Amino acid sequence: MTTPAWTIDPDIRRASTLPAAVYSDPLWYGATRERIFARSWQLVADTDAVKVPGQTHPFTLLEGLLDEPLVLTRDAKDQLHCLSNVCTHRGTLVCEHPGVEPALRCRYHGRRFALDGRFLSMPEFEGAEGFPAAKDSLPKVPFGVWGKFLFASLDPAFPLSELLAELDARVGWLPLAQATLDPTRSRDYLVRANWALYCDNFLEGFHIPYVHAALADALDYGAYRTETYPWANLQVGVASGGEDVFDLPPSSPDYGQRIAGYFFWLFPNTMLNFYPWGISVNIARPLAPDRTKVSFLAYVWDPARLDRGAGSGLDRVEREDEAVVESVQRGVRSRLYHRGRYSPKREQCVHHFHRLLERFLKE
């Protein structure tokens, strides 16, 4: 498998960006699939998908990349589980549609599983030696909950608590449990660019004055700041004038400031944007070296504050980002471009992301 011959200097003042080939070469794309995404935490659903005991929610983890069939369940004891959705007999999908069930039953040969994944029964298996064994139960998949969001990982490289630690510290006081998905403000976008280019663009406010005129008016660009953590980073947007801002509690490290938005990135491809009205989620799901599906989800807790300040016009901002990122994808294919340099003042989060990519690709 491909191993980087390049490095990202830890000192941003000396560092060069990712080589252009990382954004377009199928070998690098394959390397990220196994070394990064198979080991990463992914936001897979919200708790409304499995709200009541007996509820089941089948899904595919990173469809088009990992294509791993999984199922979320809530058992009779009101406990959540994330399980393989593949029957341990002959590999049929066990749960094909959401529903409320007393157990999981494979429709191919009738093997049954409890909602916690335990093997229950199998017809016509009399005389099979050493059966049933532990391997006849559905494999459990690591998962966790933050607010209303469910995260899962096939083989996590680090604990979910480390990924989410700063979210609790910074925005844990918000009414997260009251957030409700608004389908009218949620949609998928097909972006003709590499997933990492989409993240690069999200991770800096440098382009805001040049690409997002309306957003630039709502934010104080001079006060825009970034913070990096082991597996995440944060951009803090300060309001430029009379725009809608958070009612911060005294315990907030930003208390007394006019904060219009908190923009979190979670390694490698999840973005949670917090506004006074709720949460805007962006998930960049790779489909090909130069194709990405961006799922845009709006969770609202205060409808009266929608369409104000930095949290308004998000579809327009998304389309503006899409256009510029697709332009970059065309550019990085050039034979005359190899690597660029970072702005030490404005691109700390991009540098942080690239160093994490290098770290995982070398493991």
Cβ atoms of 71 and 59 within 8 Å: the answer is yes
Alpha-carbon distances, residue 71 vs 44, 55, 84, 92, 104 (angstroms)? 10, 10, 6, 13, 10
3-class secondary-structure state, position 356:
helix
Of the residues 114, 146, 178, the one at which a domain ends: 146
Q: Name the domain boundary from 117, 146, 175.
A: 146
Yes or no: say if 100 and 54 are a contact pair by the CB < 8 Å rule.
yes
Q: Are residues 169 and 265 in the same domain?
A: yes
Over residues 199-238, the pLDDT tens digits come to: 999 999 888 888 888 887 888 888 889 999 999 999 999 9
If one counts the domains in the chain, the total is 2
> If you average pLDDT over residues 164-179, what whole number do you get?
93
Q: Is 90 exceeded by the pLDDT of residue 94?
A: yes
Indicate whether 152 belongs to any domain: no
Q: What is the DSSP string of 171-183?
A: HTTS-GGG-EE-G
Closest by Cα among 237, 236, 199, 201 to 217: 237
Q: Edge-to-edge strand order for the sheet containing 68-74?
A: 80-84, 68-74, 55-61, 99-100
Q: Which amino acid is at 52?
A: V
With respect to residue 10, please indicate whether it lies within any of the assigned structural domains.
no
pLDDT tens string 24-54 = 999 999 999 999 999 999 999 999 999 999 9
Q: Which of 146, 176, 209 is the last residue of a domain?
A: 146
Spatial CB neighbours of 250, under 8 Å, sequence gap ≥ 6:
none
Q: Tens digit of pLDDT for each residue in 293-342?
A: 999 999 999 999 998 877 788 888 888 889 999 999 999 999 999 999 99
Which are the contacts of 169, defined by CB distance < 8 A and separation ≥ 6? none
CATH number of domain containing 230 = 3.90.380.10
Same domain, 233 and 303: yes
pLDDT one-digit tens code per residue, 258-280: 999 999 999 999 999 999 999 99
Task: Tell me what pLDDT residue 1 has.
Answer: 60
The tens digit of pLDDT for each residue in 238-254 reads 998 877 999 999 999 99
190 and 245 part of one domain: yes
CATH number at residue 138: 2.102.10.10
* Shared-domain flag, residues 332 and 204: yes
7 within a domain of the structure (yes/no): no
Domain membership of residue 281 as a residue range: 163-362
Whether residues 169 and 114 fall in one domain: no
